[in-house]
Amino acid sequence: EVVLTQSPDFQSVTPKEKVTITCRASQSIGSSLHWYQQKPDQSPKLVIKYASQSISGVPSRFSGSGSGTDFTLTIKSLEAEDAAAYYCHQSSSLPLTFGGGTKVEIK
């Protein structure tokens, strides 16, 4: 099973500040790493797929990078609507797994 370790667990950020979330895989997964945003009482929403591919309708301030075992989600200039939990997810092998999540709070 591929274990995904996210850091940090929690981040309190002022608007317009840059946010960086990392996800480390326990084994190489190529670029089969995706990022979801989840707001309270909502289902997860895909914001980045295959490590760095943008998603239609998702603001361009969201970007991703990495390959192999180390990945990063960056929010270039945080807006109030970005307050949420963010989860990385790997689809390289079964069982599908998710990271533990990073909660981003607006200061």
Nearer to another protein, 95 or 107 (CB): 95
**CA distances from residue 103 to 13, 68, 79, 86 in whole angstroms, order as listed:** 11, 24, 14, 6
Q: Is-contact 2 27, C-beta < 8 A?
A: yes
> What are the residues binding another protein (CB under 8 A)?
1, 34, 36, 42-44, 46, 49, 87, 89, 91, 94-101
Using omega within 30 degrees of 0 as the cis cutoff, is the peptide bond preceding 44 cis? no
In whole angstroms, the minimum distance from the beta carbon of 38 to another protein comes to 8
Q: 4, 10, 11, 80: which is closest to 35 by C-alpha? A: 4
In whole angstroms, the minimum distance from the beta carbon of 107 to another protein comes to 21
Nearer to another protein, 71 or 87 (CB): 87
Nearer to another protein, 49 or 73 (CB): 49
Using omega within 30 degrees of 0 as the cis cutoff, is the peptide bond preceding 95 cis? yes
Nearer to another protein, 42 or 60 (CB): 42
In whole angstroms, the minimum distance from the beta carbon of 86 to another protein comes to 11
In whole angstroms, the minimum distance from the beta carbon of 42 to another protein comes to 8
Q: Is-contact 34 88, C-beta < 8 A?
A: yes
